[in-house]
Structure 1
Amino acid sequence: MPFNDKIITLITGANGGIGFELASQLLADGKNFVLLGSRSQEKGEAAVQELKKRSLPGTVELVQVDVSDEQSIAKAAGEVEEKYSRIDALVNNAAIAGETPPTHSLPRRLTAAFLTNSTGPAIVVESFAPLLSKSTAKTPRIVNVTSGAGSISLRLDSENPHQQMKVVPYRMSKAALNMLTACQAYEYGPLGWKVFAFCPGFTASGLSDMNKEELGAKPTREGASPIVDILAGKRDGEHGGFLHAGGQHPW
């Protein structure tokens, strides 16, 4: 089959923002096969068509998956297994800010944020781990796209320029994702897999109305490019770490 000699990477939430840009950067290399994960079938198809219009050497296909829905995740894993039998890397990129609509109570916003930002990635990895175990790559990799907002140490640091930012659901769910990363590093590290939490920083994306370049967010390409390096094995020595572009955050 044409994908047997390619590196297959599943990216959740890849119909826009950092996920879409990561897909585009990976597809610049013909050895890469991107499974573009999207909750919306329509938006996912549009994203795939846009990438194909760019005539990039890599291969891209859509995987419809809602990471807040256990049945959707199971269905997606089954379809990927049937079509491709394996994946070589997984990027848990899908996320929500958990602040909208603001009229929702804190419990409702917390539940929504945890379901997408931490519970979802846990189920995605559990569901796709059997396919990662069949990877033909020397080193399967998992990247959980997190945030410095989930660092407990930075939250308590009075010198942190973002300390005044509340976003309690987002902070708590990303802190949980960081713990999930540590658990996955412990579980899968002995198998030779590499697992990372990666914070892209304040990046232009569809995460919230604040994530715009005119409001100071870095270009999406800058937020995505370090993930390409991680997937290429350039930071394998930092397995289990809470990475950002220039080093590591404190937990």
Structure 2
Amino acid sequence: MAKTIALVTGGNSGIGFELVSQLLSKGTYHVFMGSRSLSKGNAALQQLQSQDVPGTVEVLELDMTKDSTIDAAVKTISEAHGHLDILVNNAAIVSTAPSLREQLQEEFDTNATGPAVLTNAFIPLLRKSVLSPRIINISSGAGSINRRLNPTSPLFKFPGVNYRASKTALNMITACAWAEYGPEVKVFAYDPGFTQSGLSGMNTKENGARSVGESVGPLVDVVEGKRDGEVGRFLHNTGEYPW
């Protein structure tokens, strides 16, 4: 039986790594693990291989700000498989640049522009899938405009205009992709919730962040089509957010 071909960007750590691990544990996936740093990607690969997962995995050097790595990724997957079934745009950063202008530029480039460019590059391979191809953009509830304006929202006092705006932009990119490529290709925005990761110094257990296992389990349901009735929407683990 042919394996489902998936690409997870930012797959060497945090939510991305856990998603790769959970997919591989099913034994029905061949996962391309995108990593900006090839050395970090290879270290993550060794960790996965030590777990003796039944699925198969390869590392791809993939920097969301460099078109040359995006083009090379498309070439690699095209030559090896001729199609792509699942694209998960997970890679994201919180910039530590000294100025707001630089923070916005850096975060938009990785968190919004990169996924838009990558999606555009992989659409021809997604359309060649014989399964039900899907794109899942890992967003954040912090990117919801409606929630930002709601004083009762838990994130109401969180400033973070740079990160918020980059995820709001990703949500529009999601909506545009669904309008343009659906229903042939299913497209979702998904917020995994506040999760322990290296995204920022705030993403810790002490601050109430969930474990990656807790956050990624419901994401796998989206990958596997269990929430297809909510396609084209902004989902989280138990429902959906307003745009």
User: One fold, TM greater than 0.5?
Assistant: yes
Q: Is the 8 A contact 2:107 2:166 kept in 1?
A: yes
| Amino acid in the other structure paired with 1:14 | G
- 1:19-168 matched pairs, under 5 angstroms: 19-98=16-95, 100-101=96-97, 104-137=98-131, 139-168=132-161
Q: CA deviation at 1:224?
A: 1.1
Distance 1:73 1:83 in 2: 16
Task: Establish whether residue 187 from structure 1 lines up as the match of residue 180 from structure 2.
Answer: yes
CA distance in 2, matches of 1:136, 1:49: 31
Distance 2:23 2:60 in 1: 17
TM-score computed with the length of structure 2 as normaliser: 0.98
- Tell me, yes or no, if the aligned pair for 2:32 and 2:58 is still in contact at 8 Å: yes
CA contact (8 A) 1:13 1:37 kept: yes
- TM-score, reference length from structure 1: 0.95
Whether the 8 Å contact between 1:73 and 1:127 is mirrored in structure 2 is yes
Residue number among 170, 174, 177 corresponding to 1:177 in the alignment: 170
Instruction: Give the corresponding residue for 1:233.
Output: 225
- Deviation, structure 1 residue 184: 0.5
Q: Distance in 2 between matches of 1:233 and 1:30?
A: 17
* Unaligned residue ranges in structure 2 (runs of 5+): none
SS in 2 for 1:143: strand
One-letter amino acid of the counterpart of residue 164, structure 1: K
Q: Identity over the aligned pairs, expressed in percent?
A: 51
Q: In structure 2, what residue type is equivalent to 1:118?
A: A
Other structure's SS at 2:79 match: helix
Matches within 5 A, 1:189-228: 189-190=182-183, 192-228=184-220
Deviation sequence 1:34-57 (CA, Å, 0-9, x none): 110000000001111111111111
After TM superposition, give the deviation of residue 146 of structure 1 in Å.
0.2
Equivalent position amino acid for 1:151 in 2: S
Q: Work out whether residues 97 and 167 of structure 1, in 8 Å CA contact, stay in contact via their aligned partners in 2.
A: no
2-structure distance, mates of 1:202, 1:234: 22
* C-alpha contact (below 8 Å) 2:127/2:185 kept by paired residues: no
Structure 1: where are the runs of 5+ without partners? none
How many Å separate the matches in 1 of 2:30 and 2:219? Answer: 15
> Whole-Å Cα distance in 1 between the matches of residues 222 and 137 of structure 2?
11
Q: Offset at 1:66?
A: 0.2
What is the CA-CA distance between 1:206 and the residue it aligns to? 1.1
CA deviations 1:3-60 (Å, max 9, x no partner) are: x700011000010000000000001111111110000000001111111111111111
SS at match of 2:52: coil
